[in-house]
Amino acid sequence: MSQLKWWETAIIYQIYLRSFQDSNADGVGDLQGITSRLEYISNLGVDAIWISPFFKSPQNDFGYDVSDYFDIAPEYGSLDDFKKLLIKAHSLGLKLMVDIVAAHSSSEHPYFQESRQSKENSKSDWYHWVDPMPDGTPPTNWLSFFGGNAWSWEPQRQQYYLHNFLSSQPNFNFSNPHVLDYFEKIAHFWFDFGVDGFRLDAVHTINSDKPPYKDNIPNPNFKTGPLPLDQQPFFRQLHDFAQLNQPGIQEFSARMRRVADSYEDRFLMGEVDGDNEDAMKVSKSFTQEGRLHATYNFDLLEWYGLTVCEMKEIINKAVGTFNNSGKLCFAFSNHDVPRSFSRQLAPLNVKDVDGKSMQLLLLKLESCLIGSACIYQGEELGYEDVRDIPIHQLKDPWGIEFAPIFPGRDTCRTPMVWDADLKNGGFSEANETWLPIGKKHLKKAALQEVKRSDSIYNSFSHFLMWRKKQPAFVEANRMTTLSGNQRQIIFDRISERQTLRCCFDFESLTASFEEI
């Protein structure tokens, strides 16, 4: 019987902290709120939780702009609150992962504040500073994910600095060994604290090259169309090996792995992406020997959903690259894309009035693939996107930039509803929550769904209990190539003690399993 690490087969529950549970009536979720709901997560049957960034931050990108990596943002609590959360999670058998944002910091980080002052200070080369072109323009054609140029002018230095996202999120210069040392120190701090692993945010956007930089090339497959993402200039370019996925990133991967390996049973999962056809190639480069344990796979997170045939193509490509390993983490939803409940109904063309059977089928499918899987809060309740948020209430800077054509990510980030009979659905006693409560979610309040024997929550919980008893799922990461007709996904999961045929039928919206 093979002995796999916990993370090789883990079901991970993703918590978007601001929207999970508010404990102090300020309208924002916090660490004490998570602690109060840990039994709900544990009873679902998952193995670990991943919490979105809770570090000190001006919250321009809601925690993905860190000003202090060694302390907690006061609106979320304190280090003592986090310690209590960690202790309770471990007592319930849950591993705990934190979200480390390495590629960039907040512009309010003291090191950037020092760096921007002059070209001759101790942090002068901690960020990417480049002289203008002779005509005063930026050094490359790189664009920001969130709109506009990826270079901003700093009058004090008379240079441009790089930011792949907001101008208030300057990119660290990872060609500077001191930056690598700094992130080793951050990793040691949180591992010493007792966390079990890191989800490393957007590591493909780490910049480690030195000038002169290469321009991105035009995307030959880009077509302007009616869909929101078709309107955004960023996608007109191909970015790999110029702006993104620079080879030098792997020094960061190796350094972080050495830190993780100096502790017992710690896990590193990198969020990576690449220009379409290179996605698996990129994942493979990040998980070579001595680098990250696994990567977070974006391919099932297609913004507009996937047909059954498209799912099969994606999963087959992943299996062809990573079979017999736990180096991939699959997900159908997260805090950056529309919820699977909403975006998959049309592409799958399912005969499902309330979407409940489809959602359960997707949860089971991702839980049966090789490697780990991430379940985003609310998936276990069948939450749909909240698409009626007024423009003046939008908070996501990406959505604000491109509204009203593109609503951004707020639609999948609205607060959890716990009890439909309580104020704000039991999320908060505040007069106003940071994002509005989804009215449709009141019909799927978590604590009410727990009491319904036929709810998605209970059906999935029973499935996960059964899954943990199947050697084919928990003792090996081996599966066959997918087969089945255009409405089916069929494959075998194989271990030394069991071969289990898994069939997911998108016509009847049922899953069946047979030992062979």
* Average pLDDT rounded to a whole number, residues 286-294: 98
DSSP 3-42: ---GGGS-EEEEE-GGGT--SSSSSS--HHHHHHTHHHHH
Beta carbons within 8 Å of 342's beta carbon, 6+ residues apart? 384, 385, 387
How far is CA 241 from each of CA 104, 147, 252, rounded to the nearest angstrom?
Answer: 18, 21, 16
Closest CA to 200 of 367, 4, 53, 47: 53
Instruction: Say if residues 190 and 267 touch (Cβ distance below 8 Å).
Output: no
Pairing type for strands 294-296 and 372-376 reads unpaired
Structure-token match 């698409």, residue found:
387
Exposed / middle / buried, residue 503 (Cβ in 10 Å: 0-12, 13-18, 19+): middle
Once rounded to an integer, what is the mean pLDDT over residues 19-45? 98
Nearest to 76 by CA among 20, 36, 25, 17: 17
In angstroms, rounded to a whole number, what is the distance separating the alpha carbons of residues 99 and 93?
20
Mean pLDDT to the nearest integer, 348-352: 87
Q: Return the pLDDT at 292.
A: 98
| pLDDT tops 70 at residue 1 | no
| Residue 414 scores a pLDDT above 80 | yes
Q: Is the pLDDT of residue 453 over 90?
A: yes
pLDDT of residue 279: 79
Q: What does CATH list as the number for 6-105+177-209+245-477? A: 3.20.20.80
Does 207 score more than 90 pLDDT?
yes
Q: Indicate which residues carry an active-site annotation.
A: 201, 271
% of the chain exceeding 70 in pLDDT? 99
Question: Using CA atoms, how far apart are residues 339 and 498, in angstroms rounded to an integer?
Answer: 34
- Mode of pairing for the β-strands spanning 372-376 and 129-130: unpaired
Phi, psi of 291 (to 5 degrees): -115, -145
Please determine, for residue 2, whether its predicted confidence score (pLDDT) is greater than 70: no
Helices 79-91 + 177-193 axis angle, to 10: 60
- Say how many C-beta atoms besides its own lie within 10 A of residue 177's C-beta: 10
User: Which residue type occupies 399?
Assistant: G
Region 330-347 average pLDDT:
96
β-pair type (488-494, 372-376): unpaired
**Greatest Cα-to-Cα distance within the chain, rounded to the nearest angstrom:** 70
**Which residues, 6 or more positions from 355, have their beta carbon under 8 angstroms from its beta carbon?**
341, 345, 382, 384
| Closest to 145 in 3D by CA, of 59, 232, 247 | 232
Q: How far from the centroid of its chain's Cα atoms is residue 116's Cα?
A: 30
How many CA atoms does the CB half-sphere of 89 hold within 13 Å? Answer: 28
How far is it, in rounded angstroms, from Cα 196 to Cα 16?
A: 18
- Among 486, 490, 515, 483, smallest CA distance to 504 is for 490
Q: Compute the mean pLDDT over every residue in the chain, rounded to the nearest whole number.
A: 96
| pLDDT classification of 225: cutoffs 50, 70, 90 | confident
Overall average pLDDT of the 418-422 stretch: 98
Distance of CA 511 to the CA centre of its chain: 26
Q: How sure is the predictor about 277, in pLDDT bands with cuts at 50, 70 and 90? A: low
The structural domains of the chain, with segments of one domain joined by +, span: 6-105+177-209+245-477
pTM above the 0.85 mark? yes
Q: DSSP character for 230? A: G
Strands of 86-234, DSSP E: 95-101, 129-130, 151-154, 159-162, 197-201, 217-218
230: confidence class by pLDDT, cuts 50, 70, 90: confident
As given in the structure block, the two tokens for residue 178 are 């001191």
At 474, which helix (H) or strand (E)?
helix 471-474
**How many angstroms from the chain centroid is the CA of residue 21?**
19
